[in-house]
């Protein structure tokens, strides 16, 4: 059974860089879009960006060039970096497996990232 396990720092100061990693266990990267999604407390879901096994990535323009998603296929992992964080970046961050059909069939458990001085 394929599982996603994610980790990373949960408390950051303004202007620091958020860094999270998601590992894929029990399966390969295959023909999926490995995606980061976030959810501010009490709010809805926002796609941050995605990457495929070839390293081709796409990012939400609303994040204005602060995002980098990378992949390490040798470790079956993909990572998120979000620079210059502010309080508005406080959210639960999820990694997810996106299918060609456009939906997300597998999710990590989520990491609460709080940005506070």
Binding site for another protein (CB under 8 A): 44-47, 58, 60-62, 94, 96, 99, 101-105, 107-110
Closest separation in Å from C-beta 74 to another protein = 26
Closest separation in Å from C-beta 10 to another protein = 15
CA-CA-CA-CA torsion sign (103, 24, 114, 84): negative
Q: Which is nearer to another protein, 26 or 44 (CB)?
A: 44
Q: 51, 57 in Cβ contact below 8 A?
A: yes
Q: 32, 52 in Cβ contact below 8 A?
A: yes
Closest separation in Å from C-beta 99 to another protein = 8
- Nearest alpha-carbon partner for 24 in 74, 59, 60: 74
Q: Which is nearer to another protein, 44 or 65 (CB)?
A: 44
DSSP summary character for residue 63: G
Q: Which is nearer to another protein, 3 or 15 (CB)?
A: 3
């Amino acid at each position: 059974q394929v599982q996603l396990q994610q980790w990373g720092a949960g408390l950051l100061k303004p202007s620091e860089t958020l860094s999270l990693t998601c590992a894929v266990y029990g399966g390969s990267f295959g023909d999926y879009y490995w995606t980061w999604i976030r959810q501010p407390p009490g709010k809805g879901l926002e796609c941050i960006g995605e990457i495929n096994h070839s390293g081709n990535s796409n990012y939400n323009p609303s994040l204005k060039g602060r995002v980098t998603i990378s992949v390490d296929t040798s470790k079956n992992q993909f990572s998120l970096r979000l620079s210059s964080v502010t309080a508005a970046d406080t959210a639960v961050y999820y990694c997810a497996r996106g299918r060609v059909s456009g939906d997300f069939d597998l999710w990590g458990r989520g990491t609460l990232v709080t940005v506070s001085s």
